[in-house]
Amino acid sequence: MRAPSIRRLALRLVLPGVCIAIVACGGRGQPVGPAAPSPAATAARPAGMEVEPLRTAAQASQKLIGAAVTSALLRDGRYAGVLGRHFNYLTAEYEMKWDAIERTRGVRDFSAGDGITAFAQGNGMQVKGHALIWHGSVPGWVAALPAAEMRAAVETHIRSVAEHYRGRVRAWDVVNEAIASDGAGLRDSVFRQKLGDQYIADAFRAARQADPQALLFYNDYGGEGLNQKSDRIYDLVAGLKAQGVPIDGVGLQMHVSTGARPGDASIAANMSRLTSLGLLVNISEMDVRVRDVPGDLAARLEAQRAVYRSIAAVCVAESRCDGITLWGFTDAHSWIDAQFGADDPLLFDEQYGAKPAYYGVLDALWRR
């Protein structure tokens, strides 16, 4: 995959906030300016624009290295510059979800997601579509539909979205988080309540029909290592395979913390049982919370580096693990702060400096 040219990157550096990426010309919302530096975070760390591109190392290991992005931020020169330098796989954090595309019935707005695919194309990156069916992004009007109408709406949604992005996405997360949190069984979502368990197989079939080239993934959290939840995920995807449902892989989200993470051997064993079904796997949404690590900032960041390195190395060692996607890349923008409390879960700090975690992933990608 092509790395962005030095000239283009330099342009982004000197013109932050200017319309430099294709998306920046057509996107919505206000320009996003760089955050004011906080004294603690400005401690001498090499800038993300100066350190070795992760994507070079990923390519050497034949892996994709991805980040979830927010389209409005692509107009921020520092955000776009570091993203383009280091990553070769993009996922929309929100923009390709049902509620984002079709909040009003029958009115589909693809502009934000289109901005992301345009940015990816301009920077030699591939795109993973996320996520066609997820209980967390159901438009209100869908939830209110009677069963027969909901079945038709789900089918139309999958067809419209997968056809729209056909040729521009390498893969889709077709069904996201369909197993209950504790792994006791299928989540009692509005889809299951109205359509029955069958909605999962139907979603994969509809996605394959709409985009026969895209790899189709089931994606979930909490089942990264061997446990009750990953047993249920295994049963689900093994059942789909046995019925001839078109599924190509399983995404392991990997929202972990230094204090609560599955062990490397457990993740490897789980990946291995999934790949022996003929499936691909990937790490699909990794971030590593550190606020529970005792000690000072340096201790927290070192613990975080070690977690990133060893978990990324599990994927690098598994030939059917196609890549590692992080749920963001800079601590300036992470869903974790709102969801779990202020934290520093990613590879680059709030000023886009390379954290120890960056070196952890780099080392894993270079197999060292």
Give me the catalytic one of 93, 95, 102, 177.
177
Question: What stretches of the chain adopt beta strand conformation (E)?
Answer: 64-69, 89-92, 126-134, 171-176, 215-220, 249-252, 255-257, 280-289, 321-326
Give me the catalytic one of 102, 224, 285, 318.
285
99 versus 264: smaller Cβ distance to ligand XIL: 99
Give the CB-nearest residue to ligand XIL.
Answer: 335
Q: Which of 3, 8, 41, 94 binds ligand XIL (CB under 6 A)?
A: 94
CB of 335 to ligand XIL, least distance (A): 3
230 versus 253: smaller Cβ distance to ligand XIL: 253
285 versus 318: smaller Cβ distance to ligand XIL: 285
Q: Which of 108, 170, 335, 337 binds ligand XIL (CB under 6 A)?
A: 335
CB of 43 to ligand XIL, least distance (A): 28
340 binds ligand XIL (CB under 6 A): no
- List, in sequence order, every residue forming a beta bridge with 183; answer none if it has no partner: none
CB of 207 to ligand XIL, least distance (A): 16
Start-to-end C-alpha separation, the chain: 22
343 binds ligand XIL (CB under 6 A): no
> Which residue has 């200017």 as its token pair?
18
| C-alpha of 15 from chain center | 28
| Listed residue (240, 247, 142, 232) closest to 186, CA to CA | 232
285 binds ligand XIL (CB under 6 A): yes
Residues 6-25 contacting ligand XIL, CB under 6 A: none
3-class SS string, 101-164? HCCECCECCCHHHHHHHHHHHHCCCEEEEEEEEEHHHCCHHHHCCCHHHHHHHHHHHHHHHHHH
Tokens read off for 74: 């692509």
Residues 231-260 contacting ligand XIL, CB under 6 A: 253
- Indicate if 95 belongs to the active site: no
Query: How far apart, in whole angstroms, are the C-alpha atoms of residue 45 and residue 361?
Result: 16
CB of 97 to ligand XIL, least distance (A): 7
Residues 169-228 contacting ligand XIL, CB under 6 A: 176
- Indicate if 52 belongs to the active site: no
CB of 216 to ligand XIL, least distance (A): 16
| Listed residue (126, 91, 96, 123) closest to 111, CA to CA | 96
Tokens read off for 171: 């893969």
176 versus 270: smaller Cβ distance to ligand XIL: 176
Rg of the chain taking only CA atoms, in angstroms = 20
| Residues assigned a catalytic role | 177, 285
Residues near ligand XIL (CB under 6 A) are: 93-94, 131, 176, 253, 285, 335
